[in-house]
Copies of this chain bind each other. A is one copy, B any other.
Amino acid sequence: MMTNTLSTSIQTLQNYVNGRWIDSTTTQWLEVENPSTGEVIGSVPISTAAEASDAIDAAHQAFQQWREVPATTRVQPLFELTQKLKAHEESIARLVSLENGKSLPDARAEVKRAVENCEVACGMPVLQQGDTLIGAASGIDGQVLRLPRGVYTMIAPFNFPAMVPFWFLPYALATGNTYVVKPSERVPLTMSYLAQLIADSDLPPGVFNLVNGSVDVATAFMDNPKTAGVSFVGTSRVAALVAQRCAANNKRFQAMGGAKNHLVVMPDAQLDQVIRNMITSCYGCAGQRCMASSAVVAVGDDTYRRVCAAFTEASKQVKVGDPLNPALANESMLMGPVISAKAKQFILGMIEQGIAEGATLAHDGRNAKVIGDHRGHFIGPVVFTDVKPGMAIHKTEIFGPVAIILKARSFDEAVNIINEHQYGNGASIYTQSGYWARRFKLEAQCGMIGINVGIPAPVAPLPFGGMKSSQFSAVKTQGRSTIHFFTEEKIVTERFWAGDE
């Protein structure tokens, strides 16, 4: 069904259930838009709860065999998929750019991280092993088995159409569970493409399923008695609802919400090396990532002055345009549009509010020059200085290319600004000093910490996840941590009495 070439015609999406592509029976369809041009590029079904239920049934049925497949056999399709994803990297990246609007380098990095999670999941035959205790009591032994649990489901966000589902699904499959994913209805093309690669990787029918849709599908995931768990990435408001509903239904959940990540710049930071790093972090994916570090905290008057000047200047160099415009192929720092007209409207509103609150608009990207086609939802880099904790532009996750710069008198004050914020996803510090680095690791109340790293997103062999309102769940994703989400620890206490010899 899928092809490697991105046709200019409108693609009508199907669901993938029980090993087959099927047409949705829904009457409700949504147009998929290219945010760089406003053109319609696809049509996605808003599938019904019944369709979600069918997919869950298929996954539940497939689970009965899949759970019994030996561990080393179970990862064979993932080894295959890993190769396929690498071979198709450029096609996937272009599709991500097309429907999400992010630059090609950003899209390629996203695909690479998806592959990396697949690769880590391939190690499950060792990682999933349980424990043995010889001599729990006299003549009695103990075992811990880490067994698959059933049907896991995923409700995906729009900002990383390729990567975010791969934070979960390779681990689910490798541990012996089956899966149903619902991509964001705003960027569903990528997952359809990926689904075909998965389908081609020798997974038995029903082990992996894709249902396009919206709230009804998501609700089915949380309420259907046959699902064992739900992963969600989106806003904190919805994450809280997901957590609560899953808890009531006694399902496992990983619900990841919003973020407002701080970059602390200490006086000893090497500013020339730091600024480029910060620019990538603030404006990559047009600021629409949960690891974007859009709140800069400079420690001390002098540092603050130097950061404001250098960062504002560097922000001006960022180019804006359609990432698939061949003329822009060699731009080193290109920023695409935000995801939709509605998103742009929200961001513009936040900028107005920042001005009204008294922050200084050091650089105004609202009317930035767009290179090439102007129809997309473009906003250029925006820099606010003189921002104070508690302003709306500090409290809110703007999810757009709006950087704010705050001043702190000391390290302690900088950490305090972070710790009093509702979100606790990531935070970074720039310093040459091992002392401040250590204190920052221990004291900043965020799940992911960067030391001289602008985007402190851990690689796939390490866990990924935030604190406070950024994460509703005990268990983080990626690497070893996923085992605790995707397996059931069954504890065996065993003795045998002698019979006849």
- Which of A123, A442, A461 has the largest count of B CB atoms less than 10 A from its CB? A461
Residue numbers in B under 8 Å from A453 (CB-CB) = 140, 493-495
With A72-B116, A129-B132, A134-B145: A496-B452 Cβ-Cβ less than 8 Å: yes
- Which of A72, A463, A467 has the largest count of B CB atoms less than 10 A from its CB? A72
Check: A79 CB closer than 8 A to any chain B CB.
yes
Residue numbers in B under 8 Å from A82 (CB-CB) = 79
Residue numbers in B under 8 Å from A130 (CB-CB) = 131-134
Check: A260 CB closer than 8 A to any chain B CB.
no
Least Cβ–Cβ distance between A70 and chain B, in angstroms: 4
When chains A and B are docked, how far (Å) is the Cα of A140 from the Cα of B453? 9
- Selected from B141, B449, B490, the residue in CB contact (under 8 A) with A438 is B141
Are B452 and A497 touching (Cβ within 8 A)? yes
With A123-B126, A123-B127, A452-B497: A435-B438 Cβ-Cβ less than 8 Å: no
Query: By DSSP majority rule, is chain A's interface helix, strand, loop, or mixed?
Result: mixed
Check: A479 CB closer than 8 A to any chain B CB.
yes
When chains A and B are docked, how far (Å) is the Cα of A415 from the Cα of B133? 23
Residue numbers in B under 8 Å from A498 (CB-CB) = 435
Least Cβ–Cβ distance between A470 and chain B, in angstroms: 10
When chains A and B are docked, how far (Å) is the Cα of A76 from the Cα of B236? 37
Q: Interface readout for A109-152 with B: 1 if CB under 8 Å, 0 if not?
A: 00000001001101101111111111111101111111100000
Are A461 and B132 touching (Cβ within 8 A)? no
Are B501 and A410 touching (Cβ within 8 A)? yes
Check: A45 CB closer than 8 A to any chain B CB.
no
With A79-B82, A134-B145, A438-B496: A472-B250 Cβ-Cβ less than 8 Å: yes
Residue numbers in B under 8 Å from A176 (CB-CB) = 135
- Selected from B75, B79, B496, the residue in CB contact (under 8 A) with A432 is B496
Q: Residues of A within 8 Å of B, CB-based: how many?
A: 111
When chains A and B are docked, how far (Å) is the Cα of A138 from the Cα of B320? 30
- Selected from B119, B442, B495, the residue in CB contact (under 8 A) with A147 is B442
Residue numbers in B under 8 Å from A490 (CB-CB) = 441, 446-449, 467
Residue numbers in B under 8 Å from A138 (CB-CB) = 68-70
- Which of A74, A130, A492 has the largest count of B CB atoms less than 10 A from its CB? A492
Are A489 and B501 touching (Cβ within 8 A)? no
Are A458 and B491 touching (Cβ within 8 A)? yes
Return the chain B residue nearest A74 by Cβ: B135
Are A459 and B133 touching (Cβ within 8 A)? yes
Check: A434 CB closer than 8 A to any chain B CB.
yes
Known: A69-B138, A133-B461. 13 other contacts (CB 8 A): A74-B135, A83-B83, A134-B147, A136-B459, A136-B461, A142-B459, A142-B461, A142-B462, A432-B499, A433-B434, A436-B501, A475-B484, A484-B484
A-B contact pairs, 27 of them (CB 8 A): A68-B135, A69-B135, A71-B135, A72-B461, A79-B82, A123-B127, A125-B459, A125-B460, A128-B133, A130-B134, A134-B442, A136-B461, A142-B462, A143-B143, A247-B248, A266-B501, A270-B499, A410-B501, A432-B434, A432-B499, A434-B434, A434-B452, A435-B496, A438-B494, A447-B489, A467-B488, A475-B475
